[in-house]
């Protein structure tokens, strides 16, 4: 294409805004022509000033030197010719005569020194007396011959300062013409060169005036250039014309510029194409170019036009017209032409693309908001309908809904998981129904062939109609017409099928819609697969954790217990609790929390719970149990593989935990407890009073080396001890103090509630809408062991009292109605008491407890624990603990602050001991050969 252009004036550019500071900055800018001229002028003026100063210095120095020579000669000759100088030189003390006269002469002549000396150059006078008598510095040979010597030489310090001086040496002659001495006068060079300094301000002033003239001239030239170029630099002007030509060639909009006479000054390539202009159109009147009539009327009209559509041949052109220079009152005009016939098609495609992009954005934001498979499938249906399809159904494999990895064997059975769109009343399979698709259906073909299947007209889709002919007939009668079945796949794993339907009121699906449907399904498939995998992992973690938590309450007489456990929505954590029966009818309650979430936290929790059971079996004090747990957590930390963190394993980080351990004795109604970083328990008294027992807060488990403080609390019968984890009272919206206050209000007045009712009331009041952390809650109501079922007495340190102990034991069991258990119990008590008397230390005591089982306890002050062994037939003893183990279901030793307690438990069934028939009585009696019993 050829570009026709005249020489129109460019658009007016106003100078940049700003005050004098901005203009000065522009003037000094070396990138502008004015700035470059100004810098050149400044350089010239500076060079001229420097040259003038140098020339003046040199000339002044030369003139001053000549003047100094003359003055030095005159001063020296005047002093040498003065009367009496020759006689003074021959006097005995020339210095006394000549020194005052020389100083007067120096001051009158304005020289720096006047020196009188003998013919050998020894000074008789000098401005500084200490220099008198020293050798004169200079040439005196020619003066001794009667000539005058003028030279530059350095010498001793002078009044004018140290430095080189201009000095003259003349002879002093007597009346016979004989040289009897010499006189030298001089001026220092520094004083001479200082004569030019008064001239310097004149030179500098001239330089400043020249610079002012240069600035003024440059400013005037710059302003003129700005007016002529509208504020554009030469580089900008060149770029303007290059851009002008490039834009005119590149734009998809025609441009025509005409002058006041209607001649064509400019037409770009697009205008030539749209109007079919000839090659010689430049400079010709527009009327001679054969333009369409609507365009000619537009060019001849003086009115401005905005976005009017004119017909030019077979094209519809959107036209705009403006005056070329409205401020200058010129009649030229600019016309722009845009082809709307092509723009309409392009705009339609752009609108569709924009809608599709918006829908994909909504899919990215709205699909996968929750890690729930069914919720994610419904989000896909809601996003796609009705913007892309009138009806959307999502069918997922059964394994996907359960979080399993799907297999090819289960492909035919899909469950209708989601339905979206305004046409939900169409006769399609309802939500939740399991559908068995045949191999000919679009859904199964899509799933097996791993591709999108398009059915443009369902009336011709035999496979779809053959799946359920009656249902298909009703759907077609309701207007269902078109279907796109897209497989839902992620990580090359099939998940299900998404079905997009359109009715007869909407255009049928086209091949262009398949790519978009596939993209939409791909995004949803990733979210569904993430939800499936989360469902699987969450179910595994919950199963693991629930398997590690107590499944049922153990049988015990001390507490009535109820609990609640709720895992976090994002994954299980390490919260745990336990109720552990202890010897002596006591019960231990435990509540703990492991740092972190997931399988690792649940596994750690299981290890800690097992450890607590083991430590409780040893019947260790409360603080020792926590100390052993602390050591265990430290060892677990040290066992962590450092490479796990680098590989991103779940085990990364430090394993920490909190724990609260409490032991309640129903006989004494005393609860001993300690806590390691765990929230403080809450006690509800029988009258409904809610208090915190003030258990000292010790360091969490895993820090190592810190002691754990214990507290003993009296809990009357009917009191409730409430243990919990921080997930109950802490939340992102409030701190723990607010949660504790809410917990106290929820427990207020609950003295008459059962533990089950207490747990439910607390959960109803404090459970958050979305649990971000596990919640564990345990409520235990205390019971008092009946005093009538407790028998205890002291035993003297004398083996002879063993029969009386057995008799008293038998009488107590008869009172409790345990006649059948009397024999075994007497045997156990007699053996334990005999061992305590023989091998223990006083005091020795016996205690019998009648509850779910019969408990026998024998205490003494020794810390030595007995052990069971099998005695040989020739041994006289060693069979006592063997007999105890045969008649008791459980036995053991626990240590107290005053010694130890040997305890046994006998299970009771209808008042009889369960151990009565375990061993033949005659055999046991044969083993029981201690004559002292």
- The whole-number pLDDT of residue 932 equals 41
Cis peptide before 843 (omega within 30 of 0): yes
Are the C-beta atoms of 403 and 536 separated by less than 8 Å? yes
* Structure confidence by residue, pLDDT tens digits, 204-219: 777 777 777 777 777 7
| pLDDT (0 to 100) of residue 723 | 95
Q: Which of 28-37, 640-649, 921-930 has the largest mean confidence?
A: 28-37
pLDDT bin (cut points 50, 70, 90) of residue 264 is confident
Is the separation of the CB atoms in 729 and 679 below 8 Å? yes
Q: Spell out a b/e string for 206-231, using b for 16 or more CB atoms within 10 Å of the CB, else e.
A: ebeebbeebbeebeeebeebbeebbe
> Torsion angle of alpha carbons 538, 543, 544, 548, nearest 10°?
140
Tell if the pTM clears 0.85, that is, is over it. no
Greatest mean pLDDT among 25-29, 167-171, 507-511: 167-171
Q: Closest Cα partner for 904 from 636, 591, 434, 585?
A: 585
- All residues at 6 or more sequence positions from 328 whose CB lies less than 8 Å from its CB, including other chains: none
> Please, which residues have CB within 8 angstroms of residue 218's CB and are 6 or more apart in sequence?
27, 34, 37, 38, 41
C-beta separation of 88 from 94 below 8 A: yes
Percentage of residues of the chain with pLDDT beyond 70:
83
Residue 601 has pLDDT above 60, yes or no: yes
CA 719 – CA 133 distance, rounded (Å):
125
Answer with the residue of higher pLDDT: 349 or 637: 637
| Residue 918 pLDDT level (bands cut at 50, 70, 90) | very low
- Say whether pLDDT at 513 is over 80: yes
Per-residue pLDDT tens over the stretch 238-251: 777 777 777 776 77
| Tens of pLDDT, residues 734-787 | 778 888 888 998 888 777 889 999 999 999 888 877 777 888 999 999 999 888
Residue 343: is its pLDDT beyond 60? no
Q: Does a cis peptide bond (omega within 30 degrees of 0) precede residue 916?
A: no
How confident is the model over 652-699, as pLDDT tens digits?
Answer: 444 578 999 999 999 999 999 999 999 999 999 998 889 998 899 888
pLDDT in tens, 861-917: 888 777 666 655 544 455 667 778 778 888 888 888 888 888 888 888 654 555 544
What would the pLDDT profile of 800-844 be if each residue is shown by its tens digit?
888 898 899 999 989 988 888 888 888 888 888 888 888 888 899
Q: What is the pLDDT of residues 617-630, one digit of tens each?
A: 888 889 999 999 99
pLDDT at residue number 561:
93
CB atoms within 10 A of CB 665: 19
Would you tell me how many other CB atoms lie within 10 Å of the CB of residue 799? 13
């Amino acid at each position: 294409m050829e570009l026709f252009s005249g020489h129109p004036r460019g658009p007016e550019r106003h100078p940049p805004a700003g005050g004098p500071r901005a203009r000065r900055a522009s003037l000094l800018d070396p990138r502008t022509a004015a700035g470059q001229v100004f810098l050149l002028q400044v350089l010239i003026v500076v060079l001229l000033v420097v040259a003038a100063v140098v020339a003046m210095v040199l000339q002044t120095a030369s003139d001053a030197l000549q003047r100094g020579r003359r003055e030095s000669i005159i001063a020296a000759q005047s002093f040498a010719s003065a009367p009496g100088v020759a006689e003074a030189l021959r006097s005995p003390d020339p210095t006394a005569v000549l020194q005052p006269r020389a100083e007067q002469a120096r001051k009158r002549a304005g020289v720096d020194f006047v020196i009188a000396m003998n013919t050998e150059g020894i000074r008789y006078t000098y401005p500084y007396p200490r220099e008198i008598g020293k050798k004169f510095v200079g040439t005196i040979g020619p003066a001794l011959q009667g000539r005058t010597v003028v030279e530059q030489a350095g010498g001793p310090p002078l009044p004018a300062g140290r430095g080189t001086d201009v000095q003259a040496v003349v002879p002093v002659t007597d009346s016979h013409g004989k040289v009897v001495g010499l006189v030298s006068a001089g001026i220092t060079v520094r004083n001479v060169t200082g004569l030019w300094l008064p001239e310097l301000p004149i030179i500098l002033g001239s330089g400043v005036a020249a610079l002012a003239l240069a600035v003024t001239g440059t400013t005037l030239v710059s302003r003129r250039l700005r007016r002529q170029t509208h504020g554009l630099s030469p580089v900008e002007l060149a770029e303007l014309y290059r851009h002008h030509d490039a834009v005119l060639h590149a734009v998809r909009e025609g441009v025509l510029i005409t002058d006041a006479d209607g001649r064509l000054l400019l037409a770009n390539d697009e205008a030539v194409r749209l109007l079919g202009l000839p090659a010689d159109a430049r400079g010709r009147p527009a009327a001679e170019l054969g333009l369409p009539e609507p365009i000619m009327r537009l060019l001849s009209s003086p009115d401005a036009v905005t976005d009017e559509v004119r017909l030019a041949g077979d094209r519809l052109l959107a036209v705009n017209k403006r005056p070329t220079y409205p401020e200058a009152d010129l009649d030229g005009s600019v016309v722009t032409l845009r082809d709307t016939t092509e723009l309409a098609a392009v705009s339609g495609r752009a609108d569709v693309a924009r809608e599709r992009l918006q829908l994909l954005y909504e899919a990215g934001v709205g699909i996968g908001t929750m890690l729930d498979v069914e919720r994610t499938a419904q989000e896909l249906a809601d996003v796609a309908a009705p913007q892309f399809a009138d009806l959307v159904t999502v069918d997922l494999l059964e394994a996907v809904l359960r979080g399993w990895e799907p297999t090819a064997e289960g492909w035919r059975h899909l469950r209708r998981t989601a339905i979206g769109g305004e046409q939900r009343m169409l006769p399609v399979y309802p939500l939740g129904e399991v559908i068995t698709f045949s191999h000919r259906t679009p859904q199964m073909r899509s799933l097996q062939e791993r591709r999108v299947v398009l059915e443009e007209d369902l009336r011709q889709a035999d496979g779809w109609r053959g799946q359920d002919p009656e249902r298909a007939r009703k759907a077609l009668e309701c207007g269902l017409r078109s279907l796109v079945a897209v497989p839902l796949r992620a990580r090359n794993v099939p998940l299900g099928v998404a079905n997009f339907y359109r009715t007869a009121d909407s255009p049928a699906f086209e091949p262009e819609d398949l790519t978009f449907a596939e993209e939409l399904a791909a995004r949803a498939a990733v979210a569904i697969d993430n939800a499936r995998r989360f469902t699987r992992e969450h179910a595994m973690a919950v199963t693991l954790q629930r398997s590690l938590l107590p499944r049922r309450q153990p049988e015990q007489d001390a507490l009535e217990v109820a609990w609640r456990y709720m895992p976090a929505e994002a994954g299980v954590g390490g919260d745990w609790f336990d109720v552990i029966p202890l010897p002596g009818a006591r019960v231990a309650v435990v509540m703990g929390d492991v740092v972190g979430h997931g399988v690792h936290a649940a596994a750690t929790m299981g290890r800690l719970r097992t450890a607590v059971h083991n430590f409780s079996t040893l019947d260790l004090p409360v603080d020792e149990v926590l100390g052993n747990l602390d050591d265990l957590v430290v060892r677990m930390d040290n066992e962590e593989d450092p490479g796990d963190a680098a590989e991103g394993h779940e085990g990364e980080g430090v394993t920490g935990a909190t724990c609260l351990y409490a032991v309640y004795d129903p006989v004494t109604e005393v609860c001993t407890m300690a806590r390691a970083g765990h929230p403080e328990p809450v006690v509800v008294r029988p009258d409904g009073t809610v208090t915190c027992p003030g258990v000292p807060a010790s360091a969490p488990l895993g820090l190592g080396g810190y002691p754990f403080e214990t507290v003993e609390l009296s809990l009357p019968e009917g009191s409730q001890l409430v243990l919990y984890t921080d997930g109950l009272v802490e939340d992102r919206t409030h701190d723990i103090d607010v949660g504790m206050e809410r917990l106290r209000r929820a427990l207020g007045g609950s003295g008459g509630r059962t533990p089950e009712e207490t747990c439910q009331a607390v959960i109803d009041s404090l459970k958050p809408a979305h649990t971000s952390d596990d919640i564990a809650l345990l409520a235990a109501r205390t019971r008092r062991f009946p005093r009538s079922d407790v028998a205890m007495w002291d035993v003297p340190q004398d083996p002879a009292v063993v029969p009386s102990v057995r008799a008293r034991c038998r009488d107590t069991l008869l009172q409790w109605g345990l006649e059948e258990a009397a024999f075994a119990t007497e045997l156990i008590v007699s053996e334990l008491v005999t061992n305590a008397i023989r091998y223990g230390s006083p005091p020795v005591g016996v205690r019998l407890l009648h509850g779910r089982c019969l408990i026998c306890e024998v205490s003494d002050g020794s810390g030595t624990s007995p052990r069971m062994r099998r005695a040989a037939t020739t041994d006289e003893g060693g069979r006592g603990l063997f007999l105890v183990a045969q008649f008791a279901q459980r036995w053991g030793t626990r240590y107290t602050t005053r010694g130890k307690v040997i305890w046994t438990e006998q299970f009771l069934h209808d008042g009889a001991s369960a151990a009565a028939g375990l061993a033949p009585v005659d055999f046991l009696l044969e083993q029981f050969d201690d004559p002292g019993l």
